[in-house]
């Protein structure tokens, strides 16, 4: 006879307890007409552990990668060490890898990729331990995180993709019209201090979506934080897609971003190629050149098409800005020329800019370029000319200085006071001649 065993509680069965989180932080006040009571309603949703621990979530199930025995015998000690480290990588920190040389660390990462065991946590560990452009900063080690249905507060996602010590850079795509993203969440993007590329593209029009939360107030808040040196020091490219409130007011605030190279706009009803007369004077006065319709699309297509398997196209805008970034003349531009590890993150369901490739060139896209710059040759030439002028002036003063005196030489063409010419007659003689007449 089969026994009827009762289900064990969570603390005995070993299963993780589901985490309860509120999807809407603000309670909704309602009124019950039958009882006359006013109450607050908060939506509660049970989130599984894999959503809460999204930083350590792997790309897929781990694949067993056991090699068959071969004629050479057992594995070497180095290979066994690599497999062991890869198996326990989630328990390690960048400090544990400090004494591991890069060639060995590269083999550990390849072991993780072959087993599909890489996660955001492991990528951050390697990016912090090996940030050089010759090591983990190479383009082949870029990583992508896709969060189509965010269930946690946006600030938690932003904290997970931030590097305060600038070990890596982040490229973020998100949809301001998403139901989960409020204005406070959009403003909180400034906390990503290592943000390099920002794409604000609204998602498809659905019942759940709403109007975009991006407007001039958000941009003004970002600009004030940037001027205070608290945010957006490394932001190089901003993309605006399907933003209904975007207009020429954007150029009142772009000067606050010291590293900004490109602004790209598409499908914004208040800013397009047909109304250039409305916004072009202000953009030109702010130091931004607007490319024409065909050139804008022609320059964007190679970037959109450069997306590699497993990655998006947003990192291509970072590569496109490398040369222009070196020539910016903004006084607050950080001196960051070396390539760092790059992280691509997509939160929500922002639209993909496939219309740039699939459709014909139209008037819906504008490619703005920062022209407030000068070449390095011009900077060197100006510095050399200033140095030569200073040396010439010092040599001239030394030649004109009299020997044995410490005072500077007299200035040339020195004007003296007026000295009247003697006429030979006094005033009394002139008065006597006047009386005789």
Mind listing the pLDDT tens digit for each residue in 5-57? 444 443 344 444 444 444 444 566 777 777 778 878 776 654 444 445 899 88
Conformation bin of residue 23: beta by default, left when phi > 0, alpha when psi is -120 to 50:
alpha
pLDDT at 211: 83
Confidence band (pLDDT; 50, 70, 90) for 427? low
Q: Which residue has the higher pLDDT, 288 or 23?
A: 288
Rounded distance, CA 311 to CA 343, Å? 10
Closest residue by Cα to residue 49 from 94, 14, 88 = 14
Mind listing the pLDDT tens digit for each residue in 352-366? 998 888 876 678 999
Q: For the residues 387-409, what does the mean pLDDT come to? A: 57
Rounded distance, CA 387 to CA 397, Å? 16
- Structural tokens at position 227: 């001027």
pLDDT at 27: 62
pLDDT at 401: 52
- Find out whether 136 and 97 touch, Cβ atoms under 8 Å: no
- Of 54-58, 140-144, 300-304, 378-382, least confident by mean pLDDT is 378-382
Rounded distance, CA 263 to CA 368, Å? 5
- Find out whether 283 and 254 touch, Cβ atoms under 8 Å: no
pLDDT at 420: 52
Q: Which residue has the higher pLDDT, 315 or 7?
A: 315
Tally Cβ neighbours within 10 Å of residue 24. Answer: 14
Q: What is the dihedral of CA 75, 135, 117, 52, to 10 degrees?
A: 150
| Per-residue pLDDT at 69 exceeds 80 | no
- Of 159-168, 240-249, 305-314, least confident by mean pLDDT is 305-314
Rounded distance, CA 256 to CA 263, Å? 14
Confidence band (pLDDT; 50, 70, 90) for 282? very high
Closest residue by Cα to residue 133 from 98, 93, 168 = 168
pLDDT at 13: 42
- Of 173-177, 187-191, 229-233, 394-398, least confident by mean pLDDT is 394-398
Confidence band (pLDDT; 50, 70, 90) for 430? low
pLDDT at 15: 41
Confidence band (pLDDT; 50, 70, 90) for 75? confident
- Structural tokens at position 414: 């020195």
| Per-residue pLDDT at 378 exceeds 50 | yes
| Per-residue pLDDT at 146 exceeds 60 | yes
Q: Is residue 212 classed exposed, middle or buried when 0-12, 13-18 and 19+ CB atoms within 10 A define those classes? A: buried
| Residues whose CB falls within 8 Å of the CB of residue 54, separated by 6 or more in sequence, listed in order | 120, 147, 152, 157, 160
- Find out whether 368 and 287 touch, Cβ atoms under 8 Å: no
The pTM of the full predicted model, rounded to 2 decimals, is 0.74
Residues linked to residue 399 through DSSP beta bridges, in sequence order: none
Q: Is residue 436 classed exposed, middle or buried when 0-12, 13-18 and 19+ CB atoms within 10 A define those classes? A: exposed
pLDDT at 16: 43
Q: For the residues 223-235, what does the mean pLDDT come to? A: 94
Closest residue by Cα to residue 344 from 385, 307, 383, 397 = 307
Mind listing the pLDDT tens digit for each residue in 239-278? 999 999 999 999 999 999 999 999 999 999 999 999 999 9
Mind listing the pLDDT tens digit for each residue in 79-125? 889 999 999 999 999 999 999 999 999 999 999 999 889 999 999 99
| Per-residue pLDDT at 177 exceeds 80 | yes
pLDDT at 178: 86
Please give the mean pLDDT across all residues of the chain: 81
| Per-residue pLDDT at 386 exceeds 70 | no
């Amino acid at each position: 006879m089969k026994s009827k065993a009762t289900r064990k509680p969570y603390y005995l069965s070993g299963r993780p307890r589901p985490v309860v989180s509120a999807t809407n932080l603000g309670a909704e006040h309602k009124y019950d007409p039958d009882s006359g009571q006013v109450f607050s309603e908060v939506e509660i949703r049970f989130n599984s552990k894999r959503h809460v621990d999204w930083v350590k979530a792997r790309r897929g199930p781990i694949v067993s990668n056991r090699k068959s025995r071969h004629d050479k015998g057992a594995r070497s000690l180095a290979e066994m060490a690599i497999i062991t480290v890869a198996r326990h990588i989630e328990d390690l920190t960048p400090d544990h890898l400090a004494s591991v040389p890069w060639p060995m660390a590269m083999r550990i990462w390849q072991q993780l990729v072959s087993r599909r065991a890489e996660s955001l946590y492991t990528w951050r560990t390697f990016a912090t331990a090996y940030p050089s452009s010759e090591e983990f900063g190479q383009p082949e080690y870029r990583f992508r995180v896709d969060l189509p249905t965010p269930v946690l507060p946006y600030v938690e996602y932003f904290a997970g993709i931030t590097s305060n010590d600038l070990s890596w850079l982040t490229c973020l795509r998100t949809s301001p019209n998403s139901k989960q993203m409020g204005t406070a969440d959009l403003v909180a993007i400034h906390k990503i201090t290592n943000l390099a590329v920002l794409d604000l593209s609204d998602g498809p029009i659905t019942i759940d979506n709403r109007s975009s939360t991006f407007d001039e107030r958000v941009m003004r808040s970002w600009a004030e934080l940037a001027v205070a040196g608290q945010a957006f020091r490394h932001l190089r490219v901003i993309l605006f897609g399907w933003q209904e409130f975007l207009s020429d007011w954007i150029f009142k605030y772009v000067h606050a971003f010291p590293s900004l190279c490109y602004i790209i706009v598409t499908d914004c009803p208040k800013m397009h190629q047909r109304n250039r007369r409305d916004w072009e004077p202000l953009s030109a006065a702010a130091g931004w050149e607007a490319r024409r319709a065909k050139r804008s699309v022609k320059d964007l297509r190679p970037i959109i098409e450069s997306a590699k398997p497993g990655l998006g196209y947003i990192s291509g805008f970072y590569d496109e800005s490398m040369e222009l970034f070196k020539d910016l003349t903004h006084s607050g531009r950080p001196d960051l020329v070396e390539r760092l590890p790059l992280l691509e993150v997509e939160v929500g369901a922002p639209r993909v800019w496939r219309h740039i490739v699939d459709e014909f060139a139209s008037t819906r896209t504008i490619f703005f370029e920062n022209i407030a710059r000068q070449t390095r040759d011009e900077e060197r030439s100006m510095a050399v000319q200033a140095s030569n002028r200073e040396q010439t002036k010092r040599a001239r003063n030394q030649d004109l200085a009299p020997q044995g005196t410490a005072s500077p030489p007299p200035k040339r063409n020195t004007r003296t006071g007026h000295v009247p010419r003697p006429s030979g007659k006094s005033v009394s003689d002139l008065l006597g001649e006047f009386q005789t007449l």
